Structure 1
């Protein structure tokens, strides 16, 4: 081993604390890269394999009622490889010991054989026997939530008639990876189920003998999706077709795809933050090491070592730290990815999901870590090449401690000797202190941004369930019905107030841009379910025109005054042209609002409603739920408190648990910055501090001289970090928002307090570690000149 390599090992041991902190920051960046890349690969590959294995349809085409003879005509459309008709319907499941019926989706299976498209993955039991209309398959997650298994019985209401079924098997389906009750965004296994049963039995229940109300289309390789969609709509239009849509717009697939897209965005945006911080820290550490080893560098060059050899020595130090952190990050990424897989198997109903490593992520993580670290180190190595032996071996110019400025001179009269030393240190090297301030502020900014995003999301959900939706129960109907039903609801004992709503499935178009969604019709002055903007101000609904959320308006490229083409996908399916009356910054999602009377007038369907919001007496809830279950036009009942509980559980135990991971990551990066600042200050001033001890300063006074500087820098960094975090939170929120939901960035004092606590804790721990080393220091060794 060469002498320089011996020196390398000694240097690594001497700066092991700083090297470990920098390596931890690099490790976190690589961990995020490996973990998120692996999750993206795992979810994508598993999704694609699951879709292929069960032959998930490429196009879904709902229709009111079409004769079975159309199946051959649909199969003959150019570009269609297979077409399968089926019957689907909404149902209510009676759950033992629960008065509120659970909403469900009923789906038909072929009477013989397996489906050609949208096959099921049988997890337990068997398929329903041919000709047995009382045998069903049940969605596994729903069965697990209610402790149901093959051999149990189940009662359900279908098309107004209550029937009894035998559960013969449990199943999963790629069509229901993300399962939510109609009108809700949060999945809850206990409140939504899927029933599969034979085609003839389900057709009889929904009066679909010899007919179907949905067709599944599989496309050939070279098919034009848009052309097939147009032709399918043309064929089904006379029979009440509500508009074919591609797999990309299927609700379950959209949520899975948005999750993968969010992970991909995080993979691109998050790791570079940590690697940039690591490069910054390495630049400071190696730069100050070179400054303190000027004489050693001069001696090495005087003894014949070339610039390349001396520079290579320090570059090896950089590579050792970067490589060690990258390898630790790779191992941590594997462990973290495998740990998070269980979260995704619970959240998305994959029958199998194994964490799949992406070899490219390892190579990318190690390479980028080394390159970013090298970028920070190469700037310092220029100083090594520029130093000649004579210059390097000369002591640096002593600092001028008298230049403390007018403020410093005025403060010196009120400060004791240790405090004046701290002040001189800060004012003597303002650029270096500014670098430490920016570093600590950057760590706090990351903490502020991450905590603020999740706090804002929690606040929005709280407002959504408490301020926007002030009802207790929401009721959805099987089809738009007369508003006279509202009076029947009010007459139910225990119902205190009822408010109607009209939801219409539409495709909004403007030029070449389109959006498939729901047009929400509200009363003129709603009280139970209100349209509010982000400032909690009611959104006015004019007598003519539609009001869009800002996000939806941007997606369609419209502004107030423009005309919007509204393709209605229910009833007579008229094509409307409505003016955009205004836009609003909404709390959640991308809604489109309209005055309910104006909407019914445009549809030429006066006094029609599709649902209602109720305030009820909790003491009579069981009686109300039973009455609603017996109403044939009621398709589903949703209790707001249950929906809110499901969302809270999701945030605390499911995908929202990532907030704790982000908090830990923010602490790691902040601690790395603060600890390095303290260690560098100790390394630079070890000789001075030892001298203070020798001339009579106590350990506490010597520690105050060192840690006082850290305290002042940290205090200055707090407001700077808060300001940076405020603006950073908007960028992160925009990056993770989608057209399904928007993550808001709001000012929350609690979030800033938590971020401040993270920085203060990191500073206290760093200060304690540095003081411990200072107390253990050998004064004689510290005062000796190093070789």
Structure 2
């Protein structure tokens, strides 16, 4: 054990509080990096392996009704390695004890056994028996939500006919990792399910004997995706093609990939922020330590130690702090990642999801933390080489207060002696004080951003379910119907108001940008489901043109006045060129709106509706739901209150749950920065405080000199932190926004007040800890020169 190593141990023990605080900041960055990269790796690799094992189709080709012999033409398309046709229909499931019908998707399976593509995973029970028309396999998540098991019976309405089925097995499916009803965005296991039947039975139920209404295609590695999609559309065009699309546009896969990509981008931006904060803190600590130990550095050089050896001593201190934080971050990241995986397993319906971290993630975390910490230390360590023993052992020149002028003299007359000491300390070294202010302001900025994020989520809820959607019930029809059905709904008892809507599936294009979604037709002056502007005022639907949501306009890089192309995937499949006449605020999905009559004219299908928004008397909802359940044309009924509850659950799981972790981390970092500032000031002024005690200052007066500085620095950091937090909120909101929902930036005074309270609380606790140590310090020991 060399003398320098002994000194290193003593220095670490003396500054253990500061060292731990800095290590905690580094550990936070490494923890986030390991956790996020591990989640991305686990989700992506599990997704790919699950898709390959169960042979999820690369291309989905919905069609109105195509004969089975057209499958031969699809197989002949260059780049297609496997083809399968199936029947895909909507159903209404009747659950005992529930008045509201539940929407489901019915899918066919070959009578001869498991399918070649989109193979479900059997988790309980058995496979379908041949020639049994009353047996079904049920989606496992839906069965759990309603406590259904193999052996139970289930009633469902298919194509207007009600039938009773026997559940013989429960399955997972790669098509339903994110379970959501067609045309909707919010996943709710209790409100949407899927069931599988033998092909003959399901074809008979939907009049598809000898035909299929959805083709599944597997592509070879060398396939040209665009060419295959165009060829499939040409082949199925005579049979009512609804537009073939790649698996990347499949609803379930789309949301899973959105989660993965969002987590990947967050893992690339957030951890470096913490590394930068850690480097800044180490820079402050090491620079002040070198300044305080000038005499010791001079003695070491006088005794023969080279500048390199002395610099290496302080660099070892940096390495130990950063390496310790990195090791702690790796352990915490692994533990946090395993906990997050359980949340994702509930949200995305993988059969199994094991947290796995690539060794490169640990290596990147450790190396990046050490490099970030070293970057802050190298700037300081350069000064050691320029110090000669004679200069280092000479006390620094006393501070010059003569330039404070009349203002300083006036303040000195107004303040007592301890307050003047605080003022002199602040004016003597403004650079150091500015560093402390910026450090605390960064902690407050992070707190502002995270607290504002909670207000932003509330804004999303309020705008979506109170301002935009003011209905109680949404009814979806199996096919576009005559608007006479609206009058039938209006005549139902206890229905207060009905508003028709028309939705069509389409791909919107602007230049090279495209988005597969749809267009919603609204009445000219909608009341129950509205498009609103930035001031949350309703937009009147224009007779010509299209209104885009802000998220869709950003996706297409379109603005008011531009012309976009709309390729409709149903009916006569027209291609429309429409001017953008407005942009609306929408925080859920990426909708586009047209006036319903204009949309029907473009479709050449006048007076058609595909759904309706209802406002009802909640006290008599049961009879209304039962009446809707008995209507053969109804494909689904959803309640706004259920959608809101499902949305809240969705935001509290997956990436949305990350905001709780980030909020906790923001609190830890804020305390760490404030605590470091207090400890640094204590270390610098230890001998000064002891001298004050010797000449007669009380403990409270001596502590006031130290804590007054901390108070002034903290108060000055609050406005700067508020400004930085305002801009940081934009980045955090963008990072948490997904294709499902967008998080707005909300200026909430309560967020800034909460962040300021957090900083002040951290300052109070740090001041109390420092004061306790100052009161316990031995005056004689503090006055000794450390050698």
Report the TM-score when normalising by structure 1.
0.98
Is the deviation greater in 529-538 or in 264-273?
A: 529-538
SS at match of 2:21: helix
Provide the rounded CA distance (Å) in 1 between the counterparts of 2:271 and 2:558: 36
SS at match of 2:414: coil
The residue correspondences of 1:558-573 to structure 2 (distance < 5 A) are 558-573=558-573
2:136 corresponds to: 136
Deviation at 1:730?
Answer: 1.3
Provide the rounded CA distance (Å) in 2 between the counterparts of 1:479 and 1:578: 25
1:334 corresponds to: 334
The answer to whether the 8 A contact 1:532-1:587 is kept is no
Deviation at 1:582?
Answer: 3.0
1:438 corresponds to: 438
Deviation at 1:87?
Answer: 0.5
1:507 corresponds to: 507
The answer to whether the 8 A contact 1:404-1:428 is kept is no
1:109 corresponds to: 109
- CA spacing shift, 1:759–1:619, aligned 2, 3 Å: same
1:18 corresponds to: 18
2:385 corresponds to: 385
The answer to whether the 8 A contact 2:548-2:582 is kept is yes
Deviation at 1:404?
Answer: 4.4
The answer to whether the 8 A contact 2:571-2:603 is kept is no
SS at match of 2:685: helix
1:375 corresponds to: 375
Deviation at 1:331?
Answer: 0.7
1:265 corresponds to: 265
The answer to whether the 8 A contact 2:18-2:675 is kept is yes
SS at match of 2:767: helix
Q: What root-mean-square deviation, in Å, do the aligned CA atoms of Structure 1 and Structure 2 show? A: 1.4
Provide the rounded CA distance (Å) in 2 between the counterparts of 1:83 and 1:129: 24
2:56 corresponds to: 56
Deviation at 1:284?
Answer: 0.6
Is the deviation greater in 701-710 or in 652-661?
A: 652-661
Matched, 1:451 2:447: no
The residue correspondences of 1:193-592 to structure 2 (distance < 5 A) are 193-401=193-401, 403-592=403-592
The answer to whether the 8 A contact 1:279-1:372 is kept is yes
Which deviations, in whole Å up to 9, do the C-alpha atoms of 1:247-288 show, x marking residues without a partner? 110010011101110111111100111110111111111101
1:4 corresponds to: 4
Provide the rounded CA distance (Å) in 2 between the counterparts of 1:309 and 1:393: 18
Deviation at 1:537?
Answer: 2.0
The answer to whether the 8 A contact 1:552-1:739 is kept is no
Is the deviation greater in 501-510 or in 450-459?
A: 450-459
Is the deviation greater in 356-365 or in 741-750?
A: 741-750
SS at match of 1:223: coil
Provide the rounded CA distance (Å) in 2 between the counterparts of 1:534 and 1:703: 52
The answer for unaligned runs of 5 or more in structure 2 is none
Deviation at 1:740?
Answer: 4.3
Deviation at 1:189?
Answer: 1.1
1:745 corresponds to: 745
Deviation at 1:667?
Answer: 1.3
Matched, 1:77 2:77: yes
Is the deviation greater in 563-572 or in 516-525?
A: 563-572
Deviation at 1:756?
Answer: 1.8
Provide the rounded CA distance (Å) in 2 between the counterparts of 1:467 and 1:171: 39
SS at match of 1:413: helix
Deviation at 1:431?
Answer: 1.7
2:783 corresponds to: 783
Provide the rounded CA distance (Å) in 2 between the counterparts of 1:559 and 1:289: 56
The answer to whether the 8 A contact 2:283-2:380 is kept is yes
Deviation at 1:655?
Answer: 4.3
The answer to whether the 8 A contact 2:85-2:216 is kept is yes
Provide the rounded CA distance (Å) in 2 between the counterparts of 1:689 and 1:335: 43
Provide the rounded CA distance (Å) in 2 between the counterparts of 1:730 and 1:339: 28
Deviation at 1:675?
Answer: 0.8
Which deviations, in whole Å up to 9, do the C-alpha atoms of 1:490-517 show, x marking residues without a partner? 1011101100111111111233322111
Deviation at 1:752?
Answer: 1.6
The residue correspondences of 1:119-134 to structure 2 (distance < 5 A) are 119-134=119-134
Provide the rounded CA distance (Å) in 2 between the counterparts of 1:91 and 1:140: 17
The answer to whether the 8 A contact 2:531-2:585 is kept is no
SS at match of 1:539: coil
The answer to whether the 8 A contact 1:451-1:659 is kept is no
2:669 corresponds to: 669
Which deviations, in whole Å up to 9, do the C-alpha atoms of 1:500-542 show, x marking residues without a partner? 1111111112333221111111101000001012320222322
Deviation at 1:48?
Answer: 0.3
Deviation at 1:292?
Answer: 0.7
The answer to whether the 8 A contact 1:504-1:568 is kept is yes
Deviation at 1:430?
Answer: 1.6
Which deviations, in whole Å up to 9, do the C-alpha atoms of 1:111-166 show, x marking residues without a partner? 11211000001111111111111111111111111111111111111111111111
The answer to whether the 8 A contact 2:473-2:614 is kept is yes
Deviation at 1:739?
Answer: 4.5
The answer to whether the 8 A contact 1:50-1:174 is kept is yes
Deviation at 1:736?
Answer: 4.0
Provide the rounded CA distance (Å) in 2 between the counterparts of 1:106 and 1:588: 27
SS at match of 2:217: strand
The answer to whether the 8 A contact 2:229-2:245 is kept is yes
Matched, 1:146 2:146: yes
Deviation at 1:738?
Answer: 4.3
Is the deviation greater in 159-168 or in 554-563?
A: 554-563
- CA spacing shift, 1:167–1:758, aligned 2, 3 Å: same
Deviation at 1:691?
Answer: 1.4
1:730 corresponds to: 730
2:31 corresponds to: 31
2:649 corresponds to: 649
1:762 corresponds to: 762
Provide the rounded CA distance (Å) in 1 between the counterparts of 2:123 and 2:578: 49
SS at match of 1:291: helix
The answer to whether the 8 A contact 1:534-1:586 is kept is no
The answer to whether the 8 A contact 1:300-1:310 is kept is yes
SS at match of 1:357: coil
Which deviations, in whole Å up to 9, do the C-alpha atoms of 1:86-122 show, x marking residues without a partner? 0011111111211111111111111112110000011
- CA spacing shift, 1:472–1:506, aligned 2, 3 Å: same
2:606 corresponds to: 606
- CA spacing shift, 1:785–1:562, aligned 2, 3 Å: closer
Provide the rounded CA distance (Å) in 1 between the counterparts of 2:713 and 2:723: 16
Provide the rounded CA distance (Å) in 1 between the counterparts of 2:12 and 2:561: 67
1:179 corresponds to: 179
**How many residues matched?**
787
